[in-house]
Amino acid sequence: MENFKLVLPEHLNHYGFLFGGNLLKWVDEIAYIAVTLDYPGCNFVTVGMDKVEFRKSIRGGSILCFVTELGKEGSTSVEYRVKVYKKSIETGERVLAFSTSITFVCVDEKGMKKTLCKGNKPG
Q: Which residues bind a second copy (CB under 8 A)?
A: 1-15, 17, 19-22, 24-30, 32-33, 36-37, 40-41, 43, 45-54, 57, 60-61, 63, 87-92, 100, 111
> HSE-up of 64 (CA within 13 Å, CB side)?
27
* Smallest gap from residue 9 Cβ to a second copy (A): 5
In this complex, which beta carbon is closest to a second copy, that of residue 33 or of residue 73?
33
Residues with Cβ within 8 Å of 8's Cβ and at least 6 positions away in sequence, in order, are 60
* Smallest gap from residue 87 Cβ to a second copy (A): 7
In this complex, which beta carbon is closest to a second copy, that of residue 45 or of residue 75?
45
Query: CA torsion sign, 108 to 110 to 111 to 113?
Result: negative
CB-CB contact of 110 with 69 (8 Å): no
In this complex, which beta carbon is closest to a second copy, that of residue 73 or of residue 99?
99
* Smallest gap from residue 59 Cβ to a second copy (A): 8
* Smallest gap from residue 75 Cβ to a second copy (A): 19
Q: How many CB atoms sit inside 10 A of residue 85's CB?
A: 21
Q: How deeply is 116 buried, as exposed, middle or buried, from its count of CB atoms within 10 A (0-12, 13-18, 19+)?
A: buried
In this complex, which beta carbon is closest to a second copy, that of residue 73 or of residue 94?
94
